[in-house]
Amino acid sequence: MQFKDIIGHDQVKEHLLHTVKDNRVSHAQLFLGPEGSGSLALAVAYAQYINCENKQDNDSCGVCSSCNKYQKLIHPDLHFSYPFFAKGKDEVAVTYLDEWRKAFLANPYMGLDFWRHHLDAENKQANINIAEAHDIIKKLSLKAFEAEYKVLIMWLPEFLDVQGNALLKLIEEPPAKTLFLLVAENQDRILNTIISRTQLVKVFKLNHSQVRDYLIDVKKVDGQRANALSFIADGNLQMALNLLEEDENPFFDTLLHWLRFVVTDAGLHIIRYCEEDFPKLGRENQKNFLLYAINMLRQIVLIQQGLQQLVLLQGAELDFVQKFSENFRSEQLEIAIDLLEKTHYKVERNANPKILFLDLSLQLVLIFKYQTFPQGTQYI
């Protein structure tokens, strides 16, 4: 993986390059970025650049022996750790190394669900267990085989529980020329004792045009569909790739009909959606639908603020937000967005979708039809 193969993040790439050129490579770094942003790909490209035998000004050479092995993820001094779905308490990540290589090479922007589906482990709990922590200590206690640096890239350290404390001494005082690169999505779920021992590398989500151009240039998607998918994905390239497998926008009609029932207080239709349609989506698509709804309402706010040049929609979606913007105030929209965000948070934590979406729908009825939203009310 080379920096040139990764979409965007020019400032992050420049920072990483300078740490090597200025000999300021921190031994433990935390790449923190949302799913589908490319933070994992950046960590791999950074490690490849550090161990490249013929470094260029802005990238690894891509042709030396080290780069060739890195690009196949087979370098003997490159180690990976990641959540897996252990069948026994003694299993470690290397058991699934072949599957990991295939998954990353197929999609460097992958999320946990892509990895889970790749292992056909939908109903199992992901984890980085104590056996894996001990295996990391064992591997990194050995001398480097051929590279200047031994590198461990740990993807999603959020899945380390208290067993992560076994790694603290190694992270704080590693053997010489040993590099820890942790790649995380949610800082709040990482052990504070680990965060305090790492240097943060902040990776922001991709912008709309970067996702759209990737879909057009790499996936050969037509411009109108690429624009629609990149809007729904909101910077998450993994989500855009998931949506690409759908025949059309899977959420617009659902949102259109649901909001129509909400603003007219069509109780029986609302109940049917909450009892049948939303649960059928599954947890990941429920989250994606809510993110789509949030983004649509934000587009309406932009129109109301006279910022049409920032609106990313076309066709029927654009017609919808223009009409919606004429009938409701920004105060209503802001409270609705807050409700949607809180519902998304609850869905992530496996709350009952029938109860969540019914509660959300009824509160939106109060906001849009009856304009009832007293100050200080706690929603959801």
Write out pLDDT tens, residues 284-327. Answer: 789 889 988 998 898 899 888 888 877 777 778 888 888 888 88
Residue 95: count of CB within 10 angstroms of its CB: 16
Q: What pLDDT is stored for residue 3 in this prediction?
A: 97
**Residues 256, 233: contact at Cβ < 8 Å?**
no
Q: How far apart are CA 73 and CA 71, in angstroms?
A: 5
Write out pLDDT tens, residues 319-362. Answer: 888 888 888 888 899 999 999 999 998 998 888 999 999 999 99
What ranges make up the beta strands (E) of 36-149? 78-81
pTM of the full structure: 0.81
What is 28-69 written as a DSSP string?
EEEEE--TTSSHHHHHHHHHHHHH-SS--SSS--S-SHHHHH
Going by C-alpha positions, the residue among 190, 132, 180 that lies closest to residue 158 is 190
Going by C-alpha positions, the residue among 277, 274, 276 that lies closest to residue 251 is 277
Q: What pLDDT is stored for residue 376 in this prediction?
A: 46
Q: How far apart are CA 85 and CA 102, in angstroms?
A: 17
pLDDT along the chain (380 residues), means of 10: 95 96 94 96 97 95 96 96 83 92 95 84 74 92 90 93 83 90 92 90 94 92 85 89 74 91 92 91 86 90 85 80 88 92 89 93 90 51
* Helix, strand or coil, per DSSP, at residue 184: strand
Q: How far apart are CA 106 and CA 223, in angstroms?
A: 23
Indicate the residue type of 193: T
Q: What pLDDT is stored for residue 374 in this prediction?
A: 47
- Helix then strand then coil, % of the chain, to nearest 5: 55, 10, 35
Q: How far apart are CA 281 and CA 246, in angstroms?
A: 13
**Residues 33, 235: contact at Cβ < 8 Å?**
no
Q: Domains of the chain, with CATH numbers?
A: 3-202 (3.40.50.300), 250-368 (1.20.272)
